[in-house]
Structure 1
């Protein structure tokens, strides 16, 4: 799978830009603030309907965009084997986004998820190791949705139910006589949807584990003494007795009953996948709080490389691999290890401030990015 053409209208810093792309490695070179990350962010957004840089759509639309409603349009032509597809997304903050495939409108914008699959590694990925549980949950859910796009609907429905349930609990906190007759109904829905989501996360971690450990050992090979095992442990908000959606739903029901009074006192849902975490261990110690800066970088990179391998095995097709401004953060040994690992991928898109930061094996085709203009480096 690879992108053959990218077109942007009023996306980020670009009024209009069109770029022809090829398989293999492509590097976008330019000083910070010139717009190179915006290009790969647009491709990644088409894949997941989520940005690795911001949590809302508003910053994605160019300030001063034309038209009565400020909007951005992202188009990409995607080649997958002998099949081609044109993907289009219209982003309008505060209104419903719209998506098309081969000029035909999709009934739901989330149906676009997974047609193009990407794996993106960026400096923000240090949060997967050092950040809050929400960063690791977002990583897991983004990957499970790419593996099974229908789970985008499950996740959206879960978030809707959670919001309604929290509203009800908040009213009970401020009013002792609030009507909680519908709480059992919201419990049932939260548990059924949460069971599916947690079960998918657990299956992902099981598949990810061997690839994560191997990727870490390879990336960290420049530190010859670092041969410690990498393990992942799912930390649920309530004890689980099994990994199937039914088993998880039953455990969530029990957890909600146990925490019912606490939830009423605090006015918030305390049980469910929105409260879970994943513990990452290097050897016998948790990475968060104990890993060095270099170890944290290696582990974050290994998480993305393992994700790439899992997606490839699921579909026997390479996702597009995006390396956004990461080489400047890596020492020479880790740069060379990364280059050796990703060079065989069908398409690798790289951003860097200077070409010297990118290993020669990955320079491939180059574009210069300056002041919102993109030109091929002949």
Structure 2
């Protein structure tokens, strides 16, 4: 899989950009603030419908413009598909495939798969649990695009249930009785358990598949460090079968998980009604990153934190390859952050990718192994050297 062509209009700092790409390494060189990261961000957006830098779409539209356009030509197994995304803050985004409209933007997911490593990835280790949950869910969608719908459905039901709990909590404080609210809460609890079980089960299976690859990748980039491993931690883990989420365990059963989730909601109903928020579900879970016997967050050194972030991305890349889909590897301004050993390990993996896109402030930061097409990004232009 590779991106043959990228075109953007009013995306980030770019009024227009048109870039022909090819398989193998392509290096975009330019000083900070010239827009090179914006170009690879556009490619990542096509793969995930999200940015690795911001949580909303509004910053993606150039100041003064009403919408942004991204067009890509993606080649996979000799077949080329053109994807066009129209990003309009405050309105529904639109998508086209081979110039024909598709019902929903998420219908383009799976056409392009990318694994992106960027300075922001340090938040995977040092940030809050939401960063790690997002990492898992983004990888789930890359592996199986249908999970975009599962994720969306869960978020929608969670908002509805939280709104009901907030109202019920206000009624309780005001000593107002509302028996209908409890009946409605039972209905939303059932929906949340069903959608939550689909998402939670998929995360458990993903961690089981990813865990050994993370351990191996970390050992490769930091052989002198303590061993690394990951584990999924759920509020309901004590009630789940013992093997879920482990490499040698059984696959998670969504029906079993749904029953456990629903039982835990019943058990914690008074707490939820008191606080006015859903306390049970995958939105409360955590991906534990562990070095030796200690959590990486708060205990890992700066170098160990970078190594763990890199191991998570390398493991994701290897997992997608094992699934039979060769993703595009995107390395956004990371070589300047890595020491010689980590640069070398990353270059060894990258050189074997069907396509790798690299950004760097200076060409000397990029390992010699990643020779290939070279582009200069300056003053709103991108030109091949």
- Once the two structures are overlaid, the 10-residue window that deviates more, 332-341 or 173-182, is 173-182
Q: Is it true that 1:208 corresponds to 2:210 in the alignment?
A: yes
TM-score by length of 1: 0.96
Q: Say whether residues 1:115 and 2:108 are aligned partners.
A: no
C-alpha deviation, 1:211, in angstroms = 1.1
Q: Which residue of 2 aligns with 1:299?
A: 308
Q: 1:258 aligns with which of 246, 255, 267?
A: 267
Task: Work out whether 1:238 is the aligned partner of 2:236.
Answer: yes
Residue in 2 aligned with 1:169? 165
The alpha carbon displacement at 1:298 in A equals: 0.6
Partner residue of 1:348? 356
Q: 1:89 aligns with which of 85, 97, 111?
A: 85
Distance 1:354 1:60 in 2: 25
- Counterpart among 71, 77, 87 of residue 75 in structure 1: 71
Unaligned residue ranges in structure 1 (runs of 5+): none
RMSD (Å), alpha carbons: 1.0
Give the match's secondary structure for 2:32: coil
The answer as to 2:330 corresponding to 1:322 is yes
1:82: Cα distance to partner?
1.2
Is the 2:4–2:21 contact (alpha carbons within 8 Å) kept by the matching residues of 1? yes
CA deviation after TM superposition for structure 1 residue 214, in Å: 1.1
1:277 match: 286
Offset of 1:229 from its aligned partner?
A: 2.4
Could you tell me how far apart the structure 2 residues matched to 1:143 and 1:200 are?
Answer: 11
**Matches of 1:122 and 1:114, distance apart in 2:** 21
- Number of matched residues? 368
C-alpha deviations, 1:310-365, integer Å up to 9, x for none? 11111x23100000110111011211121112210000001111011110111421
> What residue in structure 2 maps to residue 331 of structure 1?
339
State how far apart, in whole Å, the 2-side matches of 1:40 and 1:57 are.
Answer: 16
Contact 1:237 1:271 in 2 (8 A): yes
Distance 1:28 1:248 in 2: 46
1:219 aligned partner: 221
Q: Name 2:196's counterpart in structure 1.
A: 194
What's the counterpart of residue 99 of structure 1?
Answer: 95
Distance 1:30 1:82 in 2: 32
Per the alignment, residue 6 of structure 1 pairs with 6
Return the offset for 1:193.
0.4
Confirm whether residue 40 of structure 1 aligns to residue 57 of structure 2. no
Distance in 1, matches of 2:286 and 2:110, equals 24
Q: Does 1:144 align with 2:140?
A: yes
Conserved 8 A contact 2:235-2:285 = yes
Residue segments in structure 2 that go unaligned for 5+ positions in a row: 242-251
Equivalent residue for 1:25?
25
Contact 1:213–1:230 under 8 Å retained in 2: yes
Q: Matches of 1:20 and 1:253 in 2, distance apart?
A: 52
In structure 2, the partner of 1:360 is: 368
2: CA distance between counterparts of 1:361 and 1:317? 23
- TM-score scaled by length of structure 2: 0.94
C-alpha distance in structure 1 between counterparts of 2:228 and 2:254, whole Å: 27
Aligned equivalent of 2:247: none
Alignment correspondent of 1:268: 277
